[in-house]
Structure 1
Amino acid sequence: MRVLALDTATEIGAIALVEDDLLLAQIQLRVEKTHSQHLWRTIRFLLAETGWGLEQIDLWAVSTGPGSFTGVRIGLATVKGLAWASQKPVIGVSTLDVLAWSVTPTPYLICPILDARHQEVFFAFYRCTPEGSVRMIREPGHESPLALVQQIREPAVFLGNGVWRYPEIFRDRSGLRALIPEFWSHPLSGVTLAAIAQQRFRRGEGRSAGKVSPLYLRPAD
């Protein structure tokens, strides 16, 4: 199965081309304004380098948020348009899910954290299962960083751009409860997004482009 996975929900976007369990190409790019300036050019570059045509893609994967409202809209609009043109299914995956899967396996609570602006963060809680999967144990929400830290009473893995946005809270005030991976673990991985999408597609979750919706968690700014 050939998958194009695209994430533009945060300032570091990712595009990956994956065939079954093999990564063929991936680009991660930090943008200062919006991903729309580089997105289509980057997609065309990756397709040209791998020799793929749009008609050869079997599945489209896209991050649905939460994150930047503009970034989420850009990613969804791009994938929906391409999927509609190619008449291929789309899998939407929460940005929090992608982050949680990127640090497995771990015995600790997993808490992906994304900057929500206005002194808040988006988050959810996850645990690894004995079968090697990841299970959400608290639905996505938004809180102040300090209010979130005060709810955690056990060692937890914190990752995502919200950790770096509020280091004085997640690094300094959480004490021994904070397990923070190296910086390269915090941007979303297009490969992980593609892997989750393939798994869900095999369970019969593929959708038409028009049925994939954003996960905003609160009204747009």
Structure 2
Amino acid sequence: MSLILNIETATKNCSVSLAKDGITILAKEIAEQGYSHAEKLHVFIEEVLKETNTNFQELKAVAVSKGPGSYTGLRIGVSAAKGICYALNIPLISVDTLQVLARKVNIEEGIIIPMLDARRMEVYSAVFDKNHTRMMEVQAEVLSSESYSEIEEKAYFIGDCQEKCKTVLTKDNFHFLENIIFPSANEMSILSFQKFNNQEFEDVAYFEPFYLKEFMLNAKK
């Protein structure tokens, strides 16, 4: 039995789940306009463990959403995950934030394009097929009317920047799933379990979130 604690703080959604063998047992989350991660994260961790009658010592690993996303949110989540892993001497697992978001969508045909807001018309994006297999690596891009113009199949856009995306992404085969906004620790469960089984662990001392900082620096020039 593999009990894994999942932490997702890359966006305004502060989310924690406990999973057993890849299936979520309990999740707690809240998405607020003002980031409340510093106040809520450790409370959610304690509540999830208490309500499932789980002790910290029973955890086999901690998984954290690695980004891209909010600099502050990522730092808070990674710091908490590292602290628990170091104290318990258990593995640290990192999961791609956009992959977590993509798993909130189930489609029969087409592709899934998760996007997270960066600033102005900039987004963090990736592309996944209907089986949630990555087709394009995570990138930072400035959206325009030419973005994804080569795509002819159905494309489902999700994330927290859909309103601004709609102003430039107007092809008839583009669909916006307005109710799917933030990634959640609930969808991390199967991904972290797969990495646990494959022993894809991070170095607790040296692991850093994936900020896409180089793009941000270049954009300022």
- Name the SS for the 2:35 alignment partner: coil
Q: Any idea what the Cα deviations from partners look like across 1:166-191, whole Å, max 9, x if unmatched?
A: 15426xx42322222351x3321212
Q: Any idea what the Cα deviations from partners look like across 1:60-118, whole Å, max 9, x if unmatched?
A: 11101111111111111110111111111111011111112222454212111000124
Q: What are structure 1's unaligned runs of at least 5 residues?
A: none
Which AA in structure 2 matches 1:200? K
Contact 2:8 / 2:14 at 8 angstroms: preserved in 1?
A: yes
Paired residue for 1:178?
174
Q: What does 1:104-143 align with in structure 2 at a 5 Å threshold? A: 104-128=106-130, 132=131, 134-143=132-141
**TM-score using structure 2 length:** 0.87
* Rounded Cα–Cα distance in structure 1 between residues aligned with 2:143 and 2:47: 39
Cα root mean square deviation, aligned: 2.1
Identity %: 28
* Rounded Cα–Cα distance in structure 1 between residues aligned with 2:144 and 2:193: 36
| Residue 19 in structure 1 maps to residue 14 in structure 2 | no
- Name the SS for the 1:6 alignment partner: strand
* Rounded Cα–Cα distance in structure 2 between residues aligned with 1:97 and 1:142: 15
* Rounded Cα–Cα distance in structure 1 between residues aligned with 2:155 and 2:166: 16
Q: CA deviation at 1:215?
A: 1.1
The alpha-carbon distance between structure 1 residues 147 and 216, as it changes in their structure 2 partners (threshold 3 A), is: farther
Q: What are structure 2's unaligned runs of at least 5 residues?
A: none
More helix by share: 1
| Residue 144 in structure 1 maps to residue 138 in structure 2 | no
- Name the SS for the 2:25 alignment partner: strand
The alpha-carbon distance between structure 1 residues 137 and 210, as it changes in their structure 2 partners (threshold 3 A), is: same
Paired residue for 1:159?
158
Q: What does 1:1-221 align with in structure 2 at a 5 Å threshold? A: 1-31=2-32, 32-128=34-130, 132=131, 134-146=132-144, 149-154=147-152, 155-164=154-163, 166=164, 168-169=166-167, 173-183=169-179, 185-219=180-214
Which AA in structure 2 matches 1:178? F
Contact 1:9 / 1:64 at 8 angstroms: preserved in 2?
A: yes
* Rounded Cα–Cα distance in structure 2 between residues aligned with 1:187 and 1:105: 18
Which AA in structure 2 matches 1:179? H
- Name the SS for the 1:38 alignment partner: helix
The alpha-carbon distance between structure 1 residues 119 and 182, as it changes in their structure 2 partners (threshold 3 A), is: closer
